[in-house]
A and B are shown apart, each in its own frame.
Chain A
Amino acid sequence: MSSTDQGAPGVRITDLGDRPVSDARAPESLSERAAEARTHPVLTIDDFSVEYKGDRVVKAVRNVSLTLGRGEILGLAGESGCGKSTLAYGINRLLKPPAVITGGSAHFHSREGYVIDLNELGGEELRAFRWDKIAMVFQGAMNSLNPVITIQRQMEDIFSTHRPDMSRKDRRMRCGDLLERVGVDRARLRSFPHELSGGMRQRVMIAMAMALDPQVMIMDEPTTALDVVVQREILREITRLRAALGFAVIFITHDLPLLLEISDRIAVMREGEIVELGDAVELYTNPRHEYTRKLLASFPSLTGERGDFIRSGSHAQNGELV
């Protein structure tokens, strides 16, 4: 297992990138990566729907179709209740009743060339698939570590479950290596979660998600509880590791400026539907859907014109433009 450390998957990406883009329908404005998503997908979601069958049926995800390219960072933006987390849980088959997948499919395209229909997986297959191929960094990850056992025991759990043949010595080695990869001292293996800062706990969660060298990482609001400086460090870490290891990321957050900075493509979700999907720069400079425009306008620009809106906006209402 430790041989995967050497960054071999990274080479694969560049290989794929060199192939000609065959899909003629791809709009010219989309970046190369967006085009690559069509030709070399790692995850394809077709017409995916999820309903919460409670007293009142709620259609949380409505006919969502998405393609995640190999090594791509896809941002999934939307406000609370728009279905973005439900979609992520649905892909990983983590939904619990009353949530039911009512239609559509999700396929995983392994780098080894085979395709897995996620809806068909069950029991042992599903358990083996999760974390190994698609790993997840959960919302509020800071609180999802077990408080009464050490970091080491939680991390070793992954290997004793998914790689039962691994020796204890190798497991220890690997856990330490993983921590170092996310910039945490391996001496921290002996720590309990409460002895780590929020940022460090988040790094541990990312290290755990990377443990089995997954091809897709789903990150559900991984930095929301952190302050901006720590958030910046974590984002750098994610982009660096993505470049080194070649996994694709679905990054879920309501923070559109953050997504615009790190993602290749962005999907904007509202009331269970994807209202706009496009290249990140394109979406920022030329948003097509009204809701995307509204979301973009919700974030004042740090360095842009001050007169954009807000203070001037409310002045304008009173008819006394400043």
Chain B
Amino acid sequence: MSALEVRNLVKEYRLRNGRHSSILKAVDDVSFSIDSGRTVALVGQSGSGKSTLAKLLMQLERPTTGSIMLDGAPVRRAGAGLRQYRSDVQMVFQDPFASLNPYHSIAHHLGRPLILHGKAKGRDEVMAGVAKLLERVRLDPDMAQRKPHELSGGQRQRIAIARALAPEPKILVADEPVSMLDVSIRLGVLNLLADLQREENLGVFYITHDLATARHFSDDILVMFRGRIVERGPADDVILNPQHEYTRMLADAAPNPEKRLSA
């Protein structure tokens, strides 16, 4: 059982405005953990600090204070330790139209992480690995030779997920993985993530502003407001019985046809 643990994480940005400067706490004293085999959703409005938190988890930004630990060991900021962390914690980005390189084939996108993280050597092994990754995200292995522009949004996002799976991560950070996709294929992609989480015992950190999918696809929900976690708990409790005023406001704001029927 592995876990990603975050303790008292703070990220401050210095804002300069002429001669004045002030400090913005984008992430303010945040603590939580993601266990393998569980999905934790992070919900909040734009600007609440969700993506900054994702960047901190991915070591794309350095925290001002606080620590991130994987399986009890603090994360290294450089060298082999960082490389190991990068293969253990992977990310799926929001926009599959921007996160795949239009010049490269799907085989290239999936083969490179296999090589870089030492999961496959030599052409045959890499191609076999690529085929297996495509299978894991329920895509036809023939797709390897195609270029991103030949694929639909949903297929592209499946490629992005396959790429994240290539280094055999323990934790998957998914930042709004379906918000750019057509509505009828969103559930398919979310179901895929749920299946992978179950089959491979992945820990999934699902960042979204969509409370409905957060509720259905996660075990626990964290609600973020102005850099702080204002409410946390089992998914159903947080959505159906919100305690914090901000969570209630978020839940009220979400479109809900049931409201009209009961009115």
Question: Taking beta carbons and an 8 Å cutoff, which residues of A are in contact with B?
Answer: 79-80, 198, 227-232, 254-258, 260-261, 280-281, 284-285, 294-295, 297-304, 306, 308-311, 313-314
Stretch at the interface among B3-11, B121-129, B254-262: B254-262
- What's the nearest-Cβ distance from chain A to residue B220, in Å? 14
Q: Which of B183, B211, B239, B252 is the one whose CB lies under 8 Å from A255?
A: B183
Could you tell me which residues of chain B, from 181 to 197, have a CB within 8 Å of some CB in chain A?
Answer: 182-184, 186-187, 190-191, 194-195
Are B217 and A310 closer than 8 Å at their CB atoms?
yes
Are A311 and B194 closer than 8 Å at their CB atoms?
yes
CB pairs A–B below 8 angstroms (17 shown): A228-B253, A229-B249, A230-B46, A254-B182, A255-B255, A258-B255, A260-B255, A261-B257, A300-B187, A302-B239, A302-B251, A303-B239, A303-B258, A306-B236, A311-B216, A311-B217, A313-B191
Known: A232-B253, A255-B183, A314-B194. 17 other contacts (CB 8 A): A198-B46, A227-B209, A228-B209, A228-B254, A229-B45, A231-B253, A257-B256, A260-B255, A261-B255, A261-B256, A261-B259, A285-B261, A298-B186, A301-B212, A301-B258, A302-B239, A314-B191
Inter-chain CA distance A310–B178, complex, in Å, is 15
Which of under 10, 10 to 19, 20 to 34, or 35 or more describes the interface residues of B? 35 or more
Inter-chain CA distance A313–B184, complex, in Å, is 15
Chain A residues contacting B191 (CB-CB under 8 Å) are 310, 313-314
Are A294 and B184 closer than 8 Å at their CB atoms?
yes
Chain A residues contacting B182 (CB-CB under 8 Å) are 79-80, 254
Inter-chain CA distance A308–B261, complex, in Å, is 18
Most B Cβ at <10 Å: residue of A79, A230, A261:
A261
Q: Which of B195, B217, B240, B253 is the one whose CB lies under 8 Å from A303?
A: B240
Are B216 and A227 closer than 8 Å at their CB atoms?
no
Chain A residues contacting B186 (CB-CB under 8 Å) are 298
Most A Cβ at <10 Å: residue of B194, B211, B236, B254:
B254
Are A302 and B209 closer than 8 Å at their CB atoms?
no
Q: Does B213 have its Cβ within 8 Å of any Cβ on chain A?
A: yes
Chain A residues contacting B187 (CB-CB under 8 Å) are 297-298, 300, 309-310
Question: Taking beta carbons and an 8 Å cutoff, which residues of B are in contact with A?
Answer: 45-46, 182-184, 186-187, 190-191, 194-195, 198, 209-213, 215-217, 236, 239-240, 249-261
- What's the nearest-Cβ distance from chain B to residue A306, in Å? 6
Inter-chain CA distance A231–B250, complex, in Å, is 11
Known: A302-B211, A302-B212, A306-B216. A284 touches B240 (CB 8 A): no
- What's the nearest-Cβ distance from chain B to residue A225, in Å? 10
Known: A227-B46, A232-B252, A298-B186. A281 touches B260 (CB 8 A): yes
Chain B residues contacting A284 (CB-CB under 8 Å) are 257, 261
- What's the nearest-Cβ distance from chain B to residue A275, in Å? 13
Inter-chain CA distance A257–B213, complex, in Å, is 13
Chain B residues contacting A227 (CB-CB under 8 Å) are 45-46, 209
Q: Is the interface of B mostly helix, strand, loop or mixed?
A: helix
Are A299 and B212 closer than 8 Å at their CB atoms?
yes
Are B256 and A310 closer than 8 Å at their CB atoms?
no
Q: Which of B183, B198, B254 is the one whose CB lies under 8 Å from A256?
A: B183
- What's the nearest-Cβ distance from chain B to residue A252, in Å? 14
Chain A residues contacting B257 (CB-CB under 8 Å) are 257, 260-261, 284
CB closest residue in chain B, given A224: B179
Chain A residues contacting B209 (CB-CB under 8 Å) are 227-228
Inter-chain CA distance A314–B187, complex, in Å, is 11
- What's the nearest-Cβ distance from chain A to residue B24, in Å? 16
Inter-chain CA distance A297–B185, complex, in Å, is 11
Inter-chain CA distance A161–B240, complex, in Å, is 52
Inter-chain CA distance A258–B255, complex, in Å, is 5
- What's the nearest-Cβ distance from chain B to residue A319, in Å? 14
CB closest residue in chain A, given B256: A302
Inter-chain CA distance A284–B260, complex, in Å, is 11
Are B216 and A300 closer than 8 Å at their CB atoms?
yes
- What's the nearest-Cβ distance from chain A to residue B49, in Å? 13
In the A-B complex, the 4 residue pairs with the smallest Cβ-Cβ separation, listed nearest first, are A260-B257, A232-B253, A258-B255, A257-B255
Are A302 and B260 closer than 8 Å at their CB atoms?
no
Known: A227-B209, A306-B236, A310-B216. A298 touches B184 (CB 8 A): yes
Known: A310-B187, A310-B217. A261 touches B260 (CB 8 A): yes
Inter-chain CA distance A229–B254, complex, in Å, is 8
- What's the nearest-Cβ distance from chain A to residue B261, in Å? 7
Chain A residues contacting B253 (CB-CB under 8 Å) are 228-229, 231-232
Inter-chain CA distance A159–B249, complex, in Å, is 39
Inter-chain CA distance A93–B261, complex, in Å, is 37
Chain A residues contacting B217 (CB-CB under 8 Å) are 310-311
Are A304 and B258 closer than 8 Å at their CB atoms?
yes
Inter-chain CA distance A310–B182, complex, in Å, is 17
Inter-chain CA distance A230–B182, complex, in Å, is 22
